[in-house]
Amino acid sequence: MIETIRKLVETYGPSGHEDKIREVILQEIEGLADEVTVDAMGSVIAWKRSGADDAPVVMLSAHMDEIGVMVTHVDEKGYLRFTNIGGLGLVTLIGNRVLFEDGTVGVIGVESGLEAGKAPTMEQLFIDVSTGDNGKGHNIRVGDAAGLLRNLEVRGDRLIAKSMDDRIGCALQIGVMRELKGQQIPNDVAFVFSVQEEVGLRGARAAAYAVDPDIGIAIDVTRTGDTPKAAPMDVSLGKGPAIKVKDSGMLAAPEVIALMEQAAERAGVPYQLEVLERGTTDSAAMQLVRAGVRAGTLSIPCRYVHTTSETVDINDVQNGVKLLVALLSERVQVEA
């Protein structure tokens, strides 16, 4: 699984520019689904069918996009000003590298005169893509997008990379598909790899309308409370995937919480309960589609979210796979 994770997290794919990561995902799931489509938004919808006419429909959704930047101005010396794609922590950007779709690598710099102890504003940052040829030296234009650049590091059970949010959810979902290959299951399952989550849950909303599920479960990362002086939160790395109860965008359906808890117990895997005070996931979009969908989220604990060093524990990922396999292997009861 680690090599799959490496391939996913190191691939370019800011929101709205998911072509390259989508191709990687399509390669990874080849032969694992009964039907695969790409919708008008660009999300991948991979169906595993039960063969039964009355089977419940379960939608899983992990978003393939990542945070990034977009060029707003190119000055006469070729330096780039930019705006955000998704939520950026400006204090973490200085000195980091970005990767444009054409392979150009830039360094984020900051204007001199930054007051000590204060975070920069977006207006004080720029991207340096100079080549030393006394000219502009690049073909980057206004509107071009870039993602953060950092390779995967493996430190024991801890995996460190950019875009664990939410490529780790994509990896988990691929792991579930691999485990279910060749198995007959009692539910019709739509494995969705959604686009544009970081800019408003857009891909999941469109996909959920098409899938029309009885149950929706997002797979995403969540913050932790296990670092020095962290905000109190009962989620830690290595103690199992987290079953969301609430975040700032949704209240999880009690029936879906119970389904995941029961599946964890059947699979014999540890789990944690999550209340996230800031942030939300694809489940918030799924929940409000059509006449409403019972929805919840399975989260992978992650330190340093929205930086180039997002950190997860491989055991939480593997236990998340086991939990969802156990859940999907029994007929989902959707009655209130």
Residue 107, burial from CB neighbour count under 10 angstroms (0-12, 13-18, 19+): middle
One digit per residue, the tens of pLDDT, for the chain of length 336 reads 999 999 999 999 999 999 999 999 999 999 999 999 999 999 999 999 998 999 999 999 999 999 999 999 998 888 999 999 999 988 889 999 999 999 999 999 998 877 777 888 999 999 999 887 665 667 899 999 999 999 999 999 999 999 999 999 999 999 999 999 999 999 999 999 999 999 999 999 999 999 999 999 999 999 999 999 888 899 999 999 999 999 999 999 999 999 999 999 999 999 999 999 999 999 999 999 999 999 999 999 999 999 999 999 999 999 999 999 999 999 998 765
Task: Sheet with 44-48: list strands edge to edge.
Answer: 35-38, 44-48, 188-194, 57-63, 215-222, 294-301, 242-246, 272-275
Residue 302 to residue 172: CA distance in whole angstroms = 14
Read off the pLDDT of residues 164-206 as tens digits, 9 standing for 90 and up: 999 999 999 999 999 999 999 999 999 999 999 999 999 999 9
Q: Is 197 marked active-site?
A: yes
Measured CA distances, 23 to 158, 169, 188, 261 (Å): 27, 17, 24, 34
From 211, 210, 192, select the one nearest 281 (Cα to Cα).
192
Read off the pLDDT of residues 147-169 as tens digits, 9 standing for 90 and up: 999 999 999 999 999 999 999 99
What pTM was computed for the model?
A: 0.94
Annotated catalytic residue within 197, 198, 274, 310:
197
Exposed e or buried b for every residue in 111-125, given b needs 16+ CB within 10 A? eeeeeeeeebeeebb
